[in-house]
Structure 1
Amino acid sequence: MTRSPASPLPPPKERRRLREAASLSQAQLAARMGVSRHTVRAWESGRTVPRGSRLEAYAQLLAELAAEPAVPEVPAVPAVPAVPTAPTVPTSSAVSAASATSVEPLSALVDPEPAASPLTPAQAFDALYAFCAPALVRQAYLLTGRRELARESVERAFQQAWQRWPEVAVDPDPAGWVRAVAYDYALSPWHRFRPRYRHPEPPPANASDRALLDVLLALPPSYRRTLVLFDGVGLGLPETAAETEASTPAAANRLLHAREEVATRLPGLSDPAVLHRRLAELASAERLRAARPPVVRGGSERRARFWTRAAIAFTATLIGATALTARTAPTHYEPPVPPGEKVRGVPPRAAPGPLSARELKLRKKLREELVSGPERLVPEAG
């Protein structure tokens, strides 16, 4: 989950006043921060707050606007570099910008200064994995309540990302791409038919954590996913709606119903800020470790080789079956023999019946007196 630094922020009304005093629009401020206009609007209304490196950059920008409100200058924050459009490997700064909506501080992963030489595909993948995987495992645990399934979901998502790395590398938000795949795999209804997932896992040791996890798992999957994205990860409502493939009003309704359900069963979590803190504590309480990046890349390559060989074997079998059918199939049409029909006026052909006693005696005599040689059977008087 998101770790909120200790950078102070003025109240929401003061944030808006500082922006307007500096003659900045929400779109201009969003361009400086590298976020959407809807996100800035949510920050100024107090509905959401920035987290991680975004919080530090936003606090520094507001401090500079407060110091020089008449002539605002560009804040000294790390600029968000553009993701390369050519099919090349993104640099570490590109991975940083694309993963800004994830849940771990990037300063501990890569140097914010642009690298002198571009990273190799493996290095860029490892940087993205090291930045996103620990947080994604905790988010998947909130969605499923299963530790092993959470780790498996994240590994499968990154394996698929490595197989389609040329596409993921130039995606504007590679972290969001991987998160969407991991969430889809974690919430798949087919896991209930797997033998290893028929029995529940041990619940958290803390009673309050168990109660919160039970409430989350009682929500419908779409409501649970919306709640985790908005109140857990900290995405804005439009971004949450886009990632859950729903309209903004539908995502808002899901979020309201999920919050009402949580507040009904746990009244102490009616405040969204308290709910966000409890979700972070619940996800951080479990020791959920992700595999190392080389292991994930190796598993992805083995899986790709397996499916490639399976496709080749299936194609060869299909070609062989087609050739055998073409070789043994008849070359011309042979109409079937029609069944027999009765002809009026002609009696049916009688089959030979059982032999009489006289006929049986004669057959026995013929079989006994029949000998080989020139002699011939001469009838005798009875």
Structure 2
Amino acid sequence: MTRSTARPAPTAPLPSPKERRRLREAKGLSERQVAAAVGVTPATVRAWETGRAGPRGRRRAAYTRLIGCAEPGIEPSRPAEPGGSGTMPTPTPGPDSRPAPDALSPDGPPPGRPSPEATAPDGTGPVPEPVEGLTAEEAYDALYGRTAPGLTRQIYLLTGHRKLSLEAVEHSFRVAWQRWPEVARDRDPAGWVRAASYEYAMSPWHRLRRGHRNADPLPEDPARRALLDALLGLPPSYRRTLLLHDGVGLGLPETAAETEASTLAAAGRLLNARAAVAERLPAQAEPADPGTGPAPLREPLAALALAEDVPAPPAAPAVRAGGERVAVLWTRAALCFGVLLIGATTFTLHTAPTHYEQPLAPAERVGGVPPLGGPEKLTAQDVELQKALRDELAHGPERLVPRIP
């Protein structure tokens, strides 16, 4: 009996995530089309093209062949057509294959990634932006410009407050600039800022503020008014899950991770939120295709966010300057508190007693004998006797002093 020593051929490495996206866009394919052809969700394709995950097995072979970088010696298994040719046609862009509006989800490239709209001067293709040459300010400004407008509209749909949405976005980006080394190394900086904005906007302490107790007036359009009213009527956890999954377009595992819940709990919240909205808005209850189709409320939420007049966020340099001012103020406050604490400790050390003095116990009567509690106040008789004794000159008891005639 002989044992085979043959080993599987090494798998050729895939292109970089940036190159994967460039190849897909060069063929005119959307994430939804690639997901439908490979058999995954659009969120999975997005994860492959951002470096958070990578395809494996037959999906890897189908994905690489689809974007035009098929690995040598690997033929992906494809479903046979009724004609028996066994080949899979290349998807062609159609009216439903265009990417969703960027009113809620920032579909633009992250800092340092080429944008599909940025073309070369001769119009031949996208111009790649340098990654290594970006400074911290440039990378921050690119992230801010790409995510701040859509994030402001997300917070408005989450809270119904325009001023609070702008305040939440500014606060999260100020914190992001203060912790920029941590945020820049994060695998999803936009997700980091989005989570911080959601947490700030959904804080229950805002209910104590007079201007944030009630939501802003609802839209005048009956359809948008009903949709926003139904959305704001959901519990905060349901509202956030519905907005992340159906509005932003995150997958169910990513939604569960961002809401700090299990996948099963996130799925339950999503189904309950959709059912509540469908009960109040029967027109929005469209059949869902969780495999490859769009989310039931993605288009209505995007249209609602685009139609509302949400204030534009300030410029990125102004937000960075505000974050630096806040950091300086907190640093000064910490230094002042430290100096005050040191002064109070020093004063206490100089004024505190250096040894322990045991307190005297109160006098008590023992066996009927009056307690000796120290010198008491003299009576009138005692004072007269004391005066007589001081006036007379005596060297001893009277009975021992001889009387001299």
Q: TM-score, normalised by structure 1?
A: 0.67
Alignment partner, residue 274 of structure 2: 259
Measure how far apart 1:340 and its partner are: 2.3
**1:164-243, aligned counterparts within 5 Å?**
164-243=179-258
Deviations 1:281-325 (A, max 9, x none): 221122221111011001100000010001111111111111111
Structure 2 residue 297 is matched with structure 1 residue 275: yes
Measure how far apart 1:8 and its partner are: 8.1
Deviations 1:161-216 (A, max 9, x none): 10011111121111111111111111111111123323442222222222222221
Aligned pair partner of 1:300 in 320, 323, 328: 323
Measure how far apart 1:38 and its partner are: 10
Question: Which secondary structure does the structure 1 equivalent of 2:163 belong to?
Answer: helix
Between structures 1 and 2, the one with greater helix share: 1
**1:65-76, aligned counterparts within 5 Å?**
none
| Contact kept? 2:363, 2:371, Cα under 8 Å | no
Distance change >3 Å, CA 39–CA 223, structure 1 → 2:
farther
Deviations 1:65-124 (A, max 9, x none): 99xx96999xxxxxxxxxxxxxxxxxx976255xx9xxxx77369974132861111111
Alignment partner, residue 126 of structure 1: 141
Alignment partner, residue 117 of structure 2: 107
| Contact kept? 1:219, 1:258, Cα under 8 Å | yes
Distance (Å, rounded) in 2 between the aligned partners of 1:174 and 1:119: 15
Find runs of 4+ consecutive structure 1 residues off by over 3 angstroms: 7-12, 28-40, 69-73, 105-112, 343-354
| Contact kept? 2:278, 2:284, Cα under 8 Å | yes
Which residues of structure 1 form unaligned runs of 5+? Answer: 41-56, 74-91, 355-382
| Contact kept? 1:231, 1:275, Cα under 8 Å | yes
Q: Equivalent pairs: percent with the same residue?
A: 49
**1:1-382, aligned counterparts within 5 Å?**
18-19=37-38, 33-34=49-50, 61=67, 95=111, 107=117, 112-115=127-130, 118-271=133-286, 273=295, 275-288=297-310, 289-346=312-369
Question: Which secondary structure does the structure 2 equivalent of 1:338 belong to?
Answer: coil
Which residues of structure 2 form unaligned runs of 5+? Answer: 1-24, 57-62, 71-75, 79-85, 91-107, 121-125, 289-294, 381-405
| Contact kept? 2:241, 2:255, Cα under 8 Å | yes
Distance (Å, rounded) in 1 between the aligned partners of 2:215 and 2:173: 26
| Contact kept? 2:364, 2:371, Cα under 8 Å | no
| Contact kept? 2:156, 2:165, Cα under 8 Å | yes
Q: TM-score, normalised by structure 2?
A: 0.63
Deviations 1:103-149 (A, max 9, x none): xx773699741328611111111111000000000000111110000
Distance change >3 Å, CA 38–CA 119, structure 1 → 2:
closer
| Contact kept? 2:206, 2:212, Cα under 8 Å | yes
| Contact kept? 2:158, 2:232, Cα under 8 Å | yes
Question: Which secondary structure does the structure 2 equivalent of 1:334 belong to?
Answer: coil
| Contact kept? 2:238, 2:270, Cα under 8 Å | yes
Distance (Å, rounded) in 1 between the aligned partners of 2:131 and 2:49: 24
Distance (Å, rounded) in 2 between the aligned partners of 1:185 and 1:30: 27
Distance change >3 Å, CA 33–CA 243, structure 1 → 2:
same
Distance change >3 Å, CA 180–CA 116, structure 1 → 2:
closer
Question: Which secondary structure does the structure 2 equivalent of 1:179 belong to?
Answer: helix
Distance change >3 Å, CA 30–CA 221, structure 1 → 2:
closer
| Contact kept? 1:160, 1:300, Cα under 8 Å | yes
Measure how far apart 1:243 and its partner are: 1.1
Measure how far apart 1:336 and its partner are: 1.2
Number of equivalences: 301
Distance (Å, rounded) in 2 between the aligned partners of 1:214 and 1:254: 18
**1:295 partner amino acid:** A
Distance change >3 Å, CA 335–CA 352, structure 1 → 2:
closer
Distance (Å, rounded) in 1 between the aligned partners of 2:379 and 2:134: 97
